Amino acid sequence: MAELQQRLERMLRITLLVFVLAAAGFLSAVTTIRIAIRGRIATMPNLVGQPLGQAEQTLAAKRLHLRVADRVYSSLPRNAVVRQSPSTGEEIKVSQDAQVVLSLGPQMVKVPLIEGQSLRAARISLLQTGLQLGEVSVIALPDTQPDMVLKQDPAAGSTATSPHVNLLVAGTEPAPSYVMPSVVGLDQAEATRILTRAGFQIAKVNRIAQTPNPKGTVIGQMPPGGDRVSGDATVELGVAD
């Protein structure tokens, strides 16, 4: 009996020892993973005001890369960092790109008046003054010459903080559209009268046999009723035979 008790105690000690070793191994693995993860994370430094070359060196020391997202006019010297993303203090993955906006120096050129010009002429005017074409939005207006600049941003005569000038340009007026009448279920003659009165032509009539519908009844149409179509759209009918 005493021998059995000793065996049980020995097994409990061994089991406890195995548990302790396993727990220690697990905690060690978790710590190693955490260290590895933290080793792939860097804290974003403050780059604002730094020249481009210095900013690249600052990021390289943290194993980060620099990417120029844009350039704007500012009071900072040319090629100095004006803005950055991520912001200072934020965590960023190692080898990830940090985006910066660089300074073009103070704006010395006033924005020219380009409203009323064609888009091509506006682009040339901007290039001649050292500016660039920004976003171009198109709007269709009646009685307006297509491709003409209607609005500009920044306004003429202003000193913008960006070299880009955004334009609102007149587009071609869209062709009118109409709602296709639904003639399914009507007699072919009545359907023809409705479509003709609405200004549509019937391009084809398909005769469909072995249907439960009375002979001469329209059982299908293309385009379907309710669709928006152009004024010169033609209609194809399926008629019970």
Pairwise CA distance, residues 198 & 176, whole Å: 14
Q: Label the pairing between strands 65-72 and 97-103.
A: parallel
Are 163 and 182 part of one and the same domain?
no
The predicted structure's pLDDT at residue 68: 92
Q: State the residue for tokens 């409705």.
A: 194
User: Does residue 127 form part of some domain?
Assistant: yes
User: Does residue 225 form part of some domain?
Assistant: yes
Instruction: Find the CATH number of the domain harbouring 75.
Output: 3.30.10.20
User: Does residue 232 form part of some domain?
Assistant: yes
Share of the chain above pLDDT 70, in %: 83
Cβ of 59: how many Cβ atoms within 10 Å? 24
The confidence band for 36, taking pLDDT boundaries of 50, 70 and 90, is very low
Are 163 and 188 part of one and the same domain?
no
The predicted structure's pLDDT at residue 21: 60
Contact (Cβ atoms closer than 8 angstroms) between residue 104 and residue 72: yes
Are 192 and 147 part of one and the same domain?
no
Share of the chain above pLDDT 90, in %: 30
User: Does residue 137 form part of some domain?
Assistant: yes
User: Does residue 25 form part of some domain?
Assistant: no
Are 182 and 236 part of one and the same domain?
yes
Are 236 and 196 part of one and the same domain?
yes
Pairwise CA distance, residues 236 & 223, whole Å: 7
User: Does residue 17 form part of some domain?
Assistant: no
* pLDDT exceeds cutoff 70 at 35: no
What is the rounded average pLDDT for all residues in the chain?
83
The predicted structure's pLDDT at residue 42: 87
**Contacts made by residues 198-201, CB under 8 angstroms, sequence distance 24+:** 199/231, 200/233, 200/234, 200/235, 201/234, 201/235
* pLDDT exceeds cutoff 80 at 230: yes
Report DSSP state, residue 59.
H
Are 82 and 123 part of one and the same domain?
no
Q: Label the pairing between strands 164-171 and 132-140.
A: parallel
Domain residues for the domain of 222 are 177-240
Output the pTM of the full model: 0.41
Radius of gyration of the chain (CA): 37
**Tens-digit pLDDT profile for residues 145-186:** 888 999 999 899 887 767 889 999 998 777 778 889 999 999
Q: Where are any strands of DSSP class E within 73-153?
A: 81-85, 91-93, 97-103, 132-140, 149-153
The predicted structure's pLDDT at residue 115: 94
Are 182 and 234 part of one and the same domain?
yes
As for how many domains the chain has, the answer is: 3
* pLDDT exceeds cutoff 70 at 24: no
**Tens-digit pLDDT profile for residues 69-115:** 888 888 899 999 999 988 998 888 887 888 999 998 887 778 999 99
Are 182 and 214 part of one and the same domain?
yes
The predicted structure's pLDDT at residue 131: 86
The predicted structure's pLDDT at residue 26: 59
User: Does residue 90 form part of some domain?
Assistant: yes
User: Does residue 10 form part of some domain?
Assistant: no
The predicted structure's pLDDT at residue 163: 81
